Amino acid sequence: MNEQATLIQVTALSYRYPRRGVVLDDVDFALEVGERVALTGPNGAGKTTLLHLLVGLKKPKAGEVWAFGSTRKTEKEFIEVRARAGFLFQDPDDQLFCPTVLEDVAFGPLNLGKSRAEALQIAEDTLASLGMAGFEQRITHQLSGGEKRMITLACVLAMEPDVLLLDEPSNALDTKARQRLIDTLLKLPQAMIIISHDQDLVSQLATRELCLEDGKLCEPVSDTYLPPNLKSA
């Protein structure tokens, strides 16, 4: 494996919940530059947990997280990871907490130490690049589901991350909003890990597909992963 091209790598990662039991059991995984990895698996398999472990929101019971050139263990070390790996949460309402869109998008850059003027400029540019110009002064909780999704993406992209972690991005989006999201994601240069149950989104976006089941990561069995009649649905 070429170390230069690896962005994030986990080795022998394990995690268990007090009541749910083991969700990740000795998992190895690496994300390379330019990859878009789809992560599938049944509900409650631990897909979201894996992403949380990658950015240090949860601490692994065993194993190691290596990201952007060094091993990450403490909260302090993970702060840099979070800046470079943009996390898109499942529920946009969790992410949009500022009253206006502009403040929300500028929140990340400000935390990275940008000046107010710079942060505002970045926020405006990011919104414009996603075709969301004109939304700056809108109230976040009054946006539609599709708009909220695009704004949360802008929030994440404004931090200029190297990696995107997307947790069911097409959840509850209508066909049009969904396609718009997919088209936007396709144009982005970042490596991605995408959790999704949306088989069509996965086939459009992913360069590699992994399945998390019973705490283990595995390659889905070629294309027969879903029967063809289900796949078209």
Binding site for another protein (CB under 8 A): 52, 55, 57, 79, 82-83, 86-87, 89, 91, 93-95, 97-100, 102-103, 106-108, 110-112, 116, 119-120, 139-142, 155-156, 159
Closer residue to another protein (CB): 17 or 97: 97
Which residue is listed with tokens 């459009």? 204
State the nearest-atom distance from the C-beta of 59 to another protein, in Å.
13
- Rounded to whole angstroms, the Cα distance separating 61 from 55 reads 15
Closer residue to another protein (CB): 115 or 207: 115
Closer residue to another protein (CB): 15 or 89: 89
State the nearest-atom distance from the C-beta of 18 to another protein, in Å.
15
State the nearest-atom distance from the C-beta of 231 to another protein, in Å.
32
Closer residue to another protein (CB): 111 or 207: 111
Closer residue to another protein (CB): 93 or 200: 93
State the nearest-atom distance from the C-beta of 24 to another protein, in Å.
18
State the nearest-atom distance from the C-beta of 157 to another protein, in Å.
11
- Cα distances from 224 to residues 11, 77, 105, 116, 219, in angstroms, run 29, 41, 41, 52, 12
State the nearest-atom distance from the C-beta of 184 to another protein, in Å.
19
**Rg of the chain in Å (alpha carbons):** 18
Q: In what order do the strands lie in the sheet with 21-32?
A: 21-32, 6-17, 62-67, 70-72
Closer residue to another protein (CB): 51 or 177: 51
- Cα distances from 140 to residues 49, 53, 107, 137, in angstroms, run 27, 28, 13, 9
Q: By C-alpha distance, which of 43, 71, 45, 68 is closest to 214?
A: 45
Helix intervals (H) in the chain: 47-54, 75-84, 92-95, 101-111, 116-129, 145-157, 175-187, 199-205, 228-231
Residue 75, judged by CB atoms within 10 A of its CB (0-12, 13-18, 19+), counts as exposed
